Amino acid sequence: AATPSAANKMVTSASVTSNAYRSASTAVSAATTATAPVNQDLPNIKILATGGTIAGSSTSNTDVTGYTAGALGIDTLINAVPEMKEVANVSGEQIANVGSPDVDNAVLLKLGKRINELLASDDVDGVVVTHGTDTLEETAYFLDLVVKSNKPVVVVGAMRPATAISADGSFNLYNAVKIASTPEATGKGVMIELNDRIGAARYITKTNTTGTDTFKSTEQGYLGVVSGGKVYFYNEPTRKHTADSVFNITDLTELPQVDILYEYQNNGSYLYDAAVAAGAKGIVVAGSGNGSLSKLSKAGAIKAVKAGVAVVRSTRTGSGVVTHSDEDDQNGMISSDSLNPQKARILLMLALTQTKDAKQIQTFFDEY
């Protein structure tokens, strides 16, 4: 973790005078995260940092693409937003410090187990996870399925690095702490906050490469918003999550290998053969349209099922339900409901920790 002086140096070395972390220098001289006094009237919120653009840094304050993700430590993030201390007693832990494409199953398990430990304690009222946005929805959905608590968990990121003009990370982080401190956030499952929107991990997805309004929940809608400094909830997630989930990672040291294949014209069954040969226990296919597969692709998928691999049909369209067909049952295949391929992979990994039976796995896709 960064010391106050190191935190200062990181911000100055980026030659930034006006950015999201403009207040880091004053904040750290006033109080460090370690010595901040506890206000008994405020909730205790733990911030777990994993890296990403929210912790990103560049030498130029107009650079929003070539920066280093995960350059700043948790203390820098916390000290840069001293306003959070009016909302909650915040303290932080560094779980990882990577760009989110490098968040792997080991990080998922570490994070999920740590959140369960923290939330089991009366001393922790909610958790905020800072994360890169590229795979943020996968981590959030994983946590939605494995966190054994009704206490709020909010996953937050940013699209502009901390050193950029008009960086979005500090306000997103402030809002995330605000949501996690709100009693109405209890029992809502794992939430994602960016750009003032509160999305359910199950429903929201990244839709744009660089825009700050990238997280959208077009079909199922948002759970709520943060507006004028107040948290508003309007909807509840209806699928099973957190305390109602059967998935338990307590004794897991690894997750089964599940790979994603992409459907396209003129594709071949050899992609399935390659995944099976590489050790896949499950395959999710981003099918065309309503999860359609070409004749060759279907042949590859059926061969994989016969080899004992679970195959889930999802869609590359970006939205909509992949409907379950009689042919799926004949072929021993599973349909993803409205889970996109990357989230279907998360559910399939966890499903495979319980069963290899396609029918039982299908019930998980129907319920979660």
Q: Which residues are catalytic?
A: 53, 133
- Considering the complex, state which of residue 100 and residue 267 has its C-beta at the smaller distance from ligand ASN: 100
Shortest Cβ distance from residue 328 to ligand ASN (Å)? 33
- Considering the complex, state which of residue 100 and residue 217 has its C-beta at the smaller distance from ligand ASN: 100
Secondary structure string (H, E, C) spanning the chain: CCCHHHHHHHHHHCCCCCCCCCCHHHHHHHCCCCCCCCCCCCCEEEEEEEECHHHCECCCCCCCCCCECCCCCHHHHHHCCHHHHHCCEEEEEEEEEECHHHCCHHHHHHHHHHHHHHHCCCCCCEEEEECCCCCHHHHHHHHHHHCCCCCCEEEECCCCCCCCCCCCHHHHHHHHHHHHCCHHHCCCCEEEEECCEEEECCCCEECCCCCCCCEECCCCCCCEEEECCEEEECCCCCCCCHHHCCCCCCCCCCCCCEEEEECCCCCCCHHHHHHHHCCCCEEEEEEECCCECCHHHHHHHHHHHHCCCEEEEEECCCCCCECCCHHHHHHCCEECECCCHHHHHHHHHHHHCCCCCHHHHHHHHHHC
- Considering the complex, state which of residue 69 and residue 129 has its C-beta at the smaller distance from ligand ASN: 69
Task: Report how far residue 322's alpha carbon sits from residue 105's, in angstroms, rounded to the nearest whole number.
Answer: 26
Q: Which residue has the closest beta carbon to ligand ASN?
A: 132
Shortest Cβ distance from residue 129 to ligand ASN (Å)? 13
Q: Report CA torsion sign: 353, 355, 356, 361.
A: negative
Please report, in angstroms and rounded to a whole number, the separation of the first and last CA atoms in the chain.
37
Shortest Cβ distance from residue 118 to ligand ASN (Å)? 23
Shortest Cβ distance from residue 96 to ligand ASN (Å)? 11
Shortest Cβ distance from residue 54 to ligand ASN (Å)? 6
- Considering the complex, state which of residue 193 and residue 337 has its C-beta at the smaller distance from ligand ASN: 193
Shortest Cβ distance from residue 92 to ligand ASN (Å)? 18
Q: Which residues bind ligand ASN (CB under 6 A)?
A: 52-53, 69, 99-100, 132-134, 157, 159
- Considering the complex, state which of residue 57 and residue 338 has its C-beta at the smaller distance from ligand ASN: 57
- Considering the complex, state which of residue 20 and residue 28 has its C-beta at the smaller distance from ligand ASN: 20
